[in-house]
Structure 1
Amino acid sequence: MRFASAVLCWSSLAATASAGAAEVDARPFDKLSLSGSASTFVDTDDEGGGGSLSYLHYFTPDFLAGFGADHTFVEEAKLTYGSVRAAWGHGEPARRFILIGEYYNGEGDDNGRKFDYQVGVLGMSQAIGSKFSVQLETRQIDIDTTHGNLPKLGLTYVWSPKFVTNIAYADSVSGNLGTELTSARFDYYGKHVNVMLGGSTGKANPAVLVLEPGVVLPPSYSNEYFLGIAKPFKRAEIQLLGDLLEVAGSEKITVTLSFIAYLGSRGQ
């Protein structure tokens, strides 16, 4: 996963943490996710893509853990890594506390030059009533020659069962990340389809955003916008997401198609 998406996806994760109590208690199916993406750079002829596979298992209604693998490439540059993650929740929905941990480890190849990829995440979410929750996250990043810690604060509000918003602010505090991003996400849960849209703006390191595997450039101003649609079924969901990333004078468009299967007979 590209970090820009991870920034926004933490908004998603924060929203999930807010709705996590309902999700963990009401639909504790295991989840198998498969996705594929295609990318193109507006200002060049470079093209890329990627794919990912992940699995989440509910050991108890309050604890889940899983693993995944991800591969991305742009022309001859490529990055492959594995991941493990876990989440634990406690309390009733209006007071629920959730602790989340993730670790990503892999290796990239930039036209023959090898580089390491390691990211560790520790986050928490605290519900304050039935509609509001606060998320805190610390993200330790070691990608090639880019290192540092990126803490983030997020706020999620559930306006209604159909409409959820999340805003977040992240600012690096060590190393050479030079990253400061503000993001927002809006989710609408309709009768037949779900819609998600949002974006981020600020200053970011292209290596952190994984603009291109192995790219080493100084931090610069960045904007990202995304729009997605999801079609839920009884035991599965299909998602289509479009993403525009602007950073370091480049514009990258990525389209991702994902399939999520809900496995197991629990909750029936």
Structure 2
Amino acid sequence: MRLSLTALCLTSMAAAIPATAAEIDARPPDKLSVSGNVSNFRNSDADGGGGALSYLHYLTPNALVGGGVDHTFVEDTELTYGSLRGAWGRGEPSSRFTFLAEAYYGEGDDVGRKFDYRVGVLGISQALTSKFSVQLETRQFEIDTTDGNLPELGLTYVWTPRFVTNVSYAKSVSGNLGTELTSARADYYGKRVNLLLGGSTGTANPAVLVPLPGVVLPPTHSTQGFVGIGRTFKRGEFQLLGDYLKVSDSEKITVTLTFTAFLGSRGR
């Protein structure tokens, strides 16, 4: 499961504003997440699905490490990959700096034809005020016959402690990614439920948006939208996410259910 710099900043900035000094000093609980998804390609009879398991551990209040494994399939084609990630930050909320690194490595089977799956991520975030931050991220893709680098610039604004928005722009600079995407996302952290809404539009290689084993398409116009709802409890949280992706004449709908358990009593 991807720990994006945008998502990390959205969560940390929204949580930081109302926090007391004692809460900032305490390590948050570790997180163990389990998810499953089902997918349908609307213009064909192909169906797919998958599952993921990930774990995040806070070494200090400012540093975390984690890992996970993902498996996805479409008909008789499948892809399995592992991931390692880490993040480190420092400073007060109004001037906080965060560094993020991720690595994904695995192998797919396209009806007997093996292919590699490798993605590396480096990102930084700098808070300019207690409500506004800038993120810069670069992703190196090596997926089957697709390769290249995709830098992304993002802006995050905390309107209230419960409502956060992000906009970003990404354009590939090497390889055959042929990608140029503009994205937006809004998160609402309610007393009873959490909501998220977002999407992207532009030109993209399908491998940049979501793993599609066995599906090789040239870069073309794409549209993606997603909406999610979650509920947080004392010892964990649930999230239900619906995602719509259209690349050229191909349309894919994915529904994902995730449960995250909070391990330990730190930060409470």
Change (3 A) 1:84 1:20: farther
CA contact (8 A) 1:21 1:96 kept: no
Write the distance in 1 (CA, Å) between the matches of 2:30 and 2:110. 36
Residue 16 in 1 paired to residue 4 in 2?
Answer: no
What SS does the aligned partner of 1:208 have?
A: helix
| Gapped regions of structure 1 (runs ≥ 5) | none
Deviation at 1:71, TM superposition (A): 0.4
What SS does the aligned partner of 1:95 have?
A: coil
After superposition, residues 220-231 of structure 1 pair within 5 angstroms as: 220-231=220-231
CA contact (8 A) 1:21 1:89 kept: no
Write the distance in 2 (CA, Å) between the matches of 1:12 and 1:174. 26
Write the distance in 1 (CA, Å) between the matches of 2:265 and 2:147. 43
Amino acid at match of 2:112: G
Runs of at least 4 residues of structure 1 off by over 3 A? 16-24
Deviations 1:220-240 (A, max 9, x none): 000000000000001200000
- TM-score by length of structure 1 reads 0.93
Identity over aligned pairs, percent: 67
Amino acid at match of 1:134: V
Write the distance in 2 (CA, Å) between the matches of 1:49 and 1:249. 21
CA contact (8 A) 1:11 1:167 kept: no
Write the distance in 2 (CA, Å) between the matches of 1:76 and 1:229. 31
Aligned equivalent of 2:91: 91
Deviation at 1:264, TM superposition (A): 1.1
Aligned equivalent of 1:45: 45
Deviations 1:20-44 (A, max 9, x none): 7569936611000000000001111
Aligned equivalent of 1:248: 248
Residue 100 in 1 paired to residue 100 in 2?
Answer: yes
| Gapped regions of structure 2 (runs ≥ 5) | none
Amino acid at match of 2:7: S
Aligned equivalent of 2:139: 139
After superposition, residues 170-185 of structure 1 pair within 5 angstroms as: 170-185=170-185
Aligned residue pairs, count: 263
What SS does the aligned partner of 1:93 have?
A: coil
After superposition, residues 152-171 of structure 1 pair within 5 angstroms as: 152-171=152-171
Change (3 A) 1:148 1:86: same
Deviation at 1:211, TM superposition (A): 5.5
CA contact (8 A) 1:228 1:242 kept: yes
- TM-score by length of structure 2 reads 0.93
Aligned equivalent of 1:149: 149
CA contact (8 A) 1:200 1:223 kept: yes
CA contact (8 A) 1:11 1:184 kept: no
Aligned equivalent of 1:235: 235
Range moving further from structure 2, 204-213 or 42-51 = 204-213
Deviations 1:85-130 (A, max 9, x none): 0000101111110000000000011111100000000001111111
Aligned-CA RMSD value: 1.8
CA contact (8 A) 2:5 2:125 kept: no
Write the distance in 2 (CA, Å) between the matches of 1:241 and 1:72. 16
Deviation at 1:216, TM superposition (A): 1.7
Write the distance in 1 (CA, Å) between the matches of 2:14 and 2:99. 14
Amino acid at match of 1:154: G
Write the distance in 1 (CA, Å) between the matches of 2:149 and 2:15. 26
